Structures are given as structure tokens and as C-alpha cells.
Amino acid sequence: MRMDKIESFEALGLTIRTNNHDEMKTSGLKIGQLWQEFYSQVAPKLSSNSIVYGVYHNYESDHLGDFDVTACATSLSDDSEFGTNIVKSGEYLVFSNKGKMPEMVVACWQQVWAFFADENCEYDRAYDTDFEKYLSEEEVEIYIGVLPKS
């Protein structure tokens, strides 16, 4: 894990609204469906320098409330039909993992949740913008917006 200062940037893609409670039920799984749609509609328009992101934003409250998820990328060959998402600048803790999809992403999120559940954690989550950055099909970094512990 490391701290990283991120400047704001835009990415284009598809958005859904969900919550962690629904995603844990087999009938929920909106995020999985979102990624299937992304790979059928957006992925064919990726350019050679595109970076793929999963952006979590528009939080209702904390990890228990609703939030938006955008499966998106930079540098699409034709971006006219996709919504724009802005990742906000700020301080982010970066967690990383390698392995088989989607298990490695889930395991990385479990690291995030365990870190912030620790009573000795020095940070609070900002619940503004968080994002997954896909470095390859087998490697992810999860950026969590943070604030100093209040």
C-alpha cells in the first residue's frame, strides 16, 4: 500500500447505481453486468493507449449506502455515445493485487475494508471518488480517497 496524490482526469463509459448489500446477493450483481456491457460496447473502441478504470462515486453516505459505479476508459476512438466521469484530485491510498479476475479484485477490496476497519487506522475514507485501475488482465490497483483521521 502507498499514498499517491492524483490530479483530476476524465474517463468515458457506462454507469450504474448499486450498493454493497445488493452486490453480495446473487440477484444483485449489477457490477458484473456493467462490466459485461462495458466489454461488449466500450472495449471495441479502446485505443492502444487507453487505460481501463472502475470508478466509484456519488456516494450516498459510506460503504453501507448507494453509490454509482462507472466502467470506463480514457482515449476511446469514438466517445460520442458514452458518459463522462471525472475522477477528482486528492490524496489516495493505493492497494494492489495480482491474480485471476474477478477474484483478485474482490480480494483487493477485502484488503481495503480490513484496513479501514482497523481501529488503529490513521485515515478516514473520503467517500468522494474511489477507483480501480486495471494495469493488465491480471493486475489491479484500487485508489481510495482519504482524509486524515478526525
Summarised one tens digit per residue, pLDDT across range 41-76 is: 999 999 889 999 999 999 999 888 999 999 999 988
Q: What is the pLDDT of residues 116-133, one digit of tens each?
A: 999 999 999 999 999 999
CA–centroid distance for 96 within its chain: 12
Instruction: Give the pLDDT score at 27.
Output: 62
Q: How many Å apart are CA 35 and CA 122, to the nearest integer?
A: 33
Half-sphere CA count of 85, side-chain side, radius 13 A? 26
Instruction: Give the pLDDT score at 83.
Output: 84
Instruction: Give the pLDDT score at 79.
Output: 64
Instruction: Give the pLDDT score at 138.
Output: 96
3-state secondary structure 31-46: HHHHHHHHHHHCHHHE
Domain range 2-148, its CATH number among 3.30.43.10, 3.90.1150.170, 3.40.50.300, 3.20.80.10: 3.20.80.10
The model carries a pTM of: 0.93
Q: What is the pLDDT of residues 15-38, one digit of tens each?
A: 999 998 888 876 658 999 999 999
Instruction: Give the pLDDT score at 37.
Output: 95
Mean pLDDT of 67-87: 86
Q: How many Å apart are CA 149 and CA 116, to the nearest integer?
A: 11
